[in-house]
Amino acid sequence: MLDYLLSKTKEYNTLLLAQEKTRQQHYNKNPAAFNFLATSDSLASPNTRSTVYLPEDFFVSLIGKQRIYDLAELLYYQTLPVYTKQKETYVDKDLNATRTAFDLNKKISYIVSGYLTQHPDQ
């Protein structure tokens, strides 16, 4: 999940860089119109704003590593039944598989055994 957030920051900065490279071309298409717009709103002209890039670890530092790990673990356990459910060709078998996959007792047992395996000293 950390890699995903880091890649999103990089992707955003890449988009900003591409816009900054073409801003002069956009301005040159109709400079009078952009200058007129800039009199009422300075952000309406490409030449009146500077590009501020996000720091590479912006989202990670904003959210915090521990919260990201906790969120990833929570999402893993919440979506686990979807991955363990088998595809069936008949509706009644599919419903039984859904009931089995979402059985709370099995889910609690799986979570507790996984927790005890990862954190045996606690």
Domain count, the chain: 2
Question: Side chain identity at 18, as an amino acid letter?
Answer: A
Copy the structure tokens of residue 20: 């900054």
Q: Mapping DSSP to helix (H, G, I), strand (E, B) and coil, where does residue 49 land?
A: coil
Question: The pTM is what?
Answer: 0.54
72-121: per-residue pLDDT in tens?
888 887 777 666 667 778 888 888 877 777 777 777 777 777 767 776 65
The Cα–Cα gap between 95 and 50 comes to 57
At 34 the pLDDT is 86
Residue 39 has phi, psi (to 5 degrees) of -70, -30
| Residue-number span of the structural domain to which 9 is assigned | 1-63
Q: CB 35: neighbour CB atoms within 10 A? A: 14
Are residues 70 and 40 part of one domain? no
Last residue of a domain, one of 17, 43, 63: 63
Q: Are residues 57 and 75 in the same domain?
A: no
| Lowest pLDDT segment from 7-11, 20-24, 46-50, 52-56 | 46-50
Q: Are residues 56 and 74 in the same domain?
A: no
For residue 55, pLDDT over 90 is answered with yes
Q: What is the pLDDT of residue 83?
A: 66
pLDDT at 18: 92
pLDDT given for residue 37 in this prediction: 86
